[in-house]
Structure 1
Amino acid sequence: MGTPQERNVLLFSYGTLQLETVQIESFGRLLEGEDDAMPGYSRAMVEITDPEVLRKSGQKYHPIVTATGNPADEVPGKVFRITQAELAAADSYEVSDYKREQVRLKSGKNAWVYVRA
């Protein structure tokens, strides 16, 4: 099974973690993802002021999701298989507007995702 750092986890992205530049800067590699979706959430935008995140993403406004409780609401994105170390790198990339929690995706997979804090 490997050490805890080598074990893979699933990370769902509906925003800038899908960008090649952000993946290279954050993980040192391009991630391979599969299309999936988060039922029961809606997507909005948040202004980013962190200079390092702005440099990596090149975008002043990033998407952010909030639980609605309505299963008809859905946010599309990609699910990536990453290491625990890469999950820690993703934690470092995200600003305080976000918190990481586990959700069940439309596919039935459980994945980490960053939602409105």
Structure 2
Amino acid sequence: MNTENLFSYGTLQNESVQIKNYGRVLEGKLDKLTGYALSMIEITDAEVVALSGAAYHPMIKHTGIVLDVVDGMVFEISADELKRTDEYEVDDYKRVQVVLASGKKAWVYINA
């Protein structure tokens, strides 16, 4: 099976969100993303709020500043699971590919 790396710094780390979104608990490894800063946004999509249990979700923005670091988890998921993640994330986010501190390439959702 071909897999994609997904870097999560927020609600996709929650087991309940993983089970509802993917039908399983994901196994991940700690990693870091440099050059990005973390903030919070209000989610107005009722389905996403119900799924995550939170109206405020973390969001990252590219700063290019090496000292800005976001901690998270990198998960291996299928292409179908990546599509489901696209459906879960609201329009305030966009998916981009990045290189993590470990050297792995991964998809991550950042501010749109």
Global fold match (TM > 0.5): yes
Partner of residue 56 from structure 2, selected from 58, 61, 74: 61
Aligned identity (percent) is 54
Runs of 4+ off more than 2 Å: none
Q: 1:37 maps to what in 2?
A: 32
Matched positions, count: 112
What is the TM-score of this pair, normalised by structure 2?
0.99
What secondary structure does 1:76 align onto? strand
Q: 2:103 aligned with 1:108, yes or no? A: yes
Unaligned runs of 5+ in 1: 1-5
Please provide the CA RMSD for this pair: 0.5
CA–CA distance in structure 2, aligned partners of residues 56 and 18 of structure 1 = 13
Output aligned runs, 1:17-32, within 5 Å: 17-32=12-27
Residues 15-45 of structure 1 show CA distances to partners (whole Å, capped at 9, x for unaligned) of 0000011100110000000000110000000
Structure 2 residues without counterparts, runs of 5 or longer: none
Is the aligned partner of 1:89 residue 2:84?
Answer: yes
- The separation in 1 between residues aligned to 2:7 and 2:57, in whole angstroms, is 15
Question: Per the alignment, in what secondary structure is the counterpart of residue 4 of structure 2?
Answer: strand
State the distance in 2 between where 1:21 and 1:92 align: 17
